[in-house]
Amino acid sequence: MSVQSAARRLTAPDIRARKGGEPIVSLTSYHAHTARLIDPHVDFMLVGDSLGMVMHGMETTVPVTVEMMILQGQAVMRGSSRALVVVDLPFGSYEGSPQQAFATASRVLKETGAGAIKLEGGRRMAETVRFLADRGVPVMGHVGLTPQAINTLGSFKALGRDEASAALILDDARSIADAGAFAIVLEAISEPLARQITAEVAPPTIGIGGSSACDGQILVLEDMLGLSDRVPRFVKKFAEIGPAIGAAVEAYASEVRARSFPAAEHVYAPKKV
């Protein structure tokens, strides 16, 4: 990476230009401190509406609000300086019309300072993607398993594993690519389909349960760190931080109860007169 590109935050055009090049690295982030930790290593970080499940214990992403996304988006921007920050538009904040989507997206970008938004849906959202892109809003698309549609899907499951459903997802990806999405997340779809979409659409594809052939990959940070109780098949745990946190808290509780913490080095002596 050149000195010039390292000195500024990456943008949506930078990510789009990576099509077919070095794989794009991404993780979710919801806090300033995790953003600071991952910023040197990722190309973009997603303030995902998955924060509803990860941070707040919600069963789905559906209850997440725009205000929640803005609050965490602001935190992630404060904690990062290099990676592009993309913020999810939550359920109910953009589906009504392209005008509603623009009002929400412009508010999110203004109040967080983030560089792009992400929305879910294929053909049905193509008009909205075009409307936003034409008005200066960088849009990341998301097709395949779309968690905001869980109430109609019925469960979190892999899609596009038969010819008919694969054709629909391929059409979804083509539609939002043609409408101006700068990148497209492919979630929980068959590997050959993810490979085919990557080969056929102009924007880079970001896989999460897709294919190693995708132009990039994303995971939920807490999942890959071993902080989540249950994770999908597509998650690889690169660490097991959860047990380490439990052990640290257990040791702390033991020392507090034994009155061995705080020790002399952790308290303040009176000043000498």
Write out the catalytic residue numbers: 187
Q: Which residues are annotated as a binding site for Mg(2+)?
A: 49, 88, 120
Dihedrals phi, psi of 237, to nearest 5 degrees: -85, 110
Q: Which residues are annotated as a binding site for 3-methyl-2-oxobutanoate?
A: 49-50, 88, 118
Q: Which residues are annotated as a binding site?
A: 49-50, 88, 118, 120
Task: Report CA-CA distances (Å) from 161 to 79, 149, 192, 249.
Answer: 39, 18, 9, 44
Residue by residue, DSSP assigns the chain as --HHHHTS---HHHHHTTTTSSPEEEEE--SHHHHHHHTTT-SEEEE-TTHHHHTT--SSSTT--HHHHHHHHHHHHHH-SSSEEEEEPPTTSSSS-HHHHHHHHHHHHHHH--SEEE--BSGGGHHHHHHHHHTT--EEEEEES-GGGHHHH-S---B--SHHHHHHHHHHHHHHHHHT-SEEEEESB-HHHHHHHHHH-SSPEEEESS-TTSSEEEE-HHHHTT--SS--TT---S--HHHHHHHHHHHHHHHHHTT-SS-GGGS-PPPP-
